[in-house]
């Protein structure tokens, strides 16, 4: 273990609902029009400073641009191997004037600079083998959640690449991601928890990265300058920690995905984290048997890691496990959530954007 790495555990904190003067207000909602194109599968999106939505379509192999009323602006690219073509674009981020996305099919992160409203010029591509989660921008660097080893064989779950793909800085050891105390314990026990999942989410604010694994309500805070880490997060009565059950193991043995899915519907799954100077937000979902939809809960923590509130977001739903997708705009403290459900006829996905304002009184 690197000498500079240590874990600080914050004490258990009691939720005091909105006593710190926080309010989560729904300010806007709109459907994304599908009159001119069909949205095949949107799992991630980004919002620009002028509120244009960038939506990589992982199944359609292109990028779709929408305005802030739900009207299609442009379709960018097509499926293919070329420099301006895509295979399976998915995780993405935008920080003026740069846009990035992880193309799972090409196993590459593409970096673009905004030239016009809906026109981006490619700067570079970074090979990304073992990438399966979030990517984020940090100045002229890309933060990547994935599997990567350093020259000494140490395994990491979060690292930084510069735009030129010349330098790599390692941030989070893989054993810390899953809550192990050492690399030895991680190597011995990883097979016992791997069926829970590998997806992680993270967000950058100032000198800190906030990182969370989908399988546990536990935020890892990493100081980018000192590399020191601390953890915080409080499980509430609404949250059910995931675990590997006999049902999940049996479903995997006989390759019955529907059985595994039913087992996981009994548990809660973290789907996002974001931060600014006033709070850290965490989103997790629970499956509702009545509606057959995953419903979202939002937790807000103080900068010191104290849970200030937890609220349900009743409209933020998806029928797909692992969502809904979200994007946080720090400049105006707006949280955007992409809700996904089947239309009334049950043959097409409807995508709806919910825009929330987080107000600090």
Q: Which CATH number does the domain housing residue 27 bear? A: 2.120.10
219-235 mean pLDDT:
96
Name 207's bridge partners.
none
Is residue 282 classed as helix, strand or coil in its secondary structure?
strand
In which band, very low, low, confident or very high, does the pLDDT at 14 lie, cut at 50, 70 and 90? very low
**pTM of the predicted structure, to 2 decimals:** 0.91
* Residue span of the structural domain in which 156 resides: 7-31+130-360
Answer yes or no: is 277 within a domain: yes
Tell me the residue length of the chain. 361
In which band, very low, low, confident or very high, does the pLDDT at 8 lie, cut at 50, 70 and 90? very low
Report pLDDT for 255.
Answer: 83
Report pLDDT for 84.
Answer: 81
Mean of the per-residue pLDDT values of the chain: 91
Answer yes or no: is 308 within a domain: yes
| Cis before 97? omega within 30 | yes
Answer yes or no: is 76 within a domain: no
In which band, very low, low, confident or very high, does the pLDDT at 109 lie, cut at 50, 70 and 90? very high
Answer yes or no: is 39 within a domain: no
Separation in Å, CA 53 to CA 118, 136, 199, 315: 10, 16, 23, 19
247-264 mean pLDDT:
89
- Total number of domains in the chain: 1
Answer yes or no: is 257 within a domain: yes
Answer yes or no: is 124 within a domain: no
Report pLDDT for 4.
Answer: 36
118-131 mean pLDDT:
93
Answer yes or no: is 332 within a domain: yes
For the stretch 149-186, pLDDT in tens is: 999 999 999 999 999 999 999 999 999 999 999 999 99
In 3D space, the residue among 238, 255, 153 whose CA is nearest the CA of residue 195 turns out to be 255
In which band, very low, low, confident or very high, does the pLDDT at 228 lie, cut at 50, 70 and 90? very high
For the stretch 15-66, pLDDT in tens is: 334 445 688 999 999 999 999 999 999 999 999 999 999 999 999 999 999 9
Answer yes or no: is 219 within a domain: yes
């Amino acid at each position: 273990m690197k000498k500079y790495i240590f874990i600080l555990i914050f004490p258990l904190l009691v939720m005091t609902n909105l006593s710190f003067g926080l309010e989560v207000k729904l300010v806007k909602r709109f459907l994304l029009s599908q009159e001119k194109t069909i949205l095949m599968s949107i799992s991630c999106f980004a919002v620009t400073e002028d509120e244009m939505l960038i939506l990589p379509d992982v199944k359609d192999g292109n990028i779709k641009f929408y305005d802030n009323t739900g009207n299609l602006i442009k379709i960018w690219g097509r499926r293919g191997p070329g420099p301006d073509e895509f295979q399976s674009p998915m995780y993405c981020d935008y920080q003026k004037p740069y846009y990035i996305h992880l193309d799972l099919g090409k196993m590459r992160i593409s970096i673009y600079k905004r030239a016009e409203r809906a026109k981006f010029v490619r700067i570079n591509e970074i090979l990304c083998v073992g990438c399966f989660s979030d990517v984020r921008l940090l100045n002229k660097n890309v933060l990547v959640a994935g599997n990567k080893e350093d020259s000494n064989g140490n395994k990491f779950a979060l690292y930084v690449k510069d735009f030129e793909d010349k330098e790599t800085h390692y941030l989070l050891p893989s054993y810390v991601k899953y809550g192990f105390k050492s690399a030895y314990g991680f190597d011995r026990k990883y097979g016992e928890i791997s069926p829970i999942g590998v997806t992680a989410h993270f967000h950058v604010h100032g000198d800190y990265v906030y990182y969370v694994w989908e399988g546990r309500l536990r935020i890892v805070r990493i100081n980018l300058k000192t590399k020191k880490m601390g953890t915080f997060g409080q499980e509430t009565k609404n949250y059910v920690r995931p675990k590997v059950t006999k049902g999940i193991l049996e479903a995997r043995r006989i390759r019955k995905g529907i059985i595994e899915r039913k087992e996981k519907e009994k548990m809660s799954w973290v789907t996002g984290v974001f931060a600014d100077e006033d709070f850290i937000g965490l989103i997790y979902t629970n499956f509702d048997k009545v509606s057959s939809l995953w419903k979202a809960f939002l937790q807000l923590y103080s900068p010191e890691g104290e849970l200030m509130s937890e609220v349900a977001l009743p409209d933020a739903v998806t029928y797909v496990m692992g969502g809904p997708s979200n994007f946080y705009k720090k400049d105006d403290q707006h949280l955007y959530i992409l809700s996904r459900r089947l239309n009334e006829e049950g043959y097409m996905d409807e995508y709806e954007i919910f825009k929330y304002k987080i107000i600090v009184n």
